[in-house]
Amino acid sequence: MQKTDTRKTVTLKSPRFFDQFKLFIRYKGLFYSTEKTYCTWVRRFIRFSGYQSMAEINMAQVEPFLSHLANERYCSVNTQRTALNALVFLFREYFNLNI
């Protein structure tokens, strides 16, 4: 039996960061595949940076993260671009920072 890949319902009042981030992506009208990709890369960025709360997230860790992808994980240029696009969306659109 084939498993279907569909969006899960997220409640509007959920306090969880990723629930709010997903809702924002949906509000912007992005595809479900984009939502999954962006959430994956933001999650990897947060883990790499060792953030304990969303208040700690800052752009200073973007360059070290991308460098890590290139030099230690041997990610392709296209993969690095995808990660960068996810982080630009996070900071520019979601956090509304001028970068």
The two tokens of residue 50 are 């060792």
pLDDT digits (tens, 9 = 90+) for 11-35: 889 899 999 999 999 999 999 999 9
pLDDT digits (tens, 9 = 90+) for 46-99: 999 999 888 899 999 999 999 999 999 999 999 999 999 999 999 999 999 987
Q: How far is Cα 85 from Cα 62, in angstroms, rounded to an integer?
A: 11
pTM summary value:
0.89
Q: Give the SS3 label for residue 63.
A: helix
Query: Which residue blocks in the chain are alpha helix, DSSP H?
Result: 17-27, 32-49, 62-71, 77-88
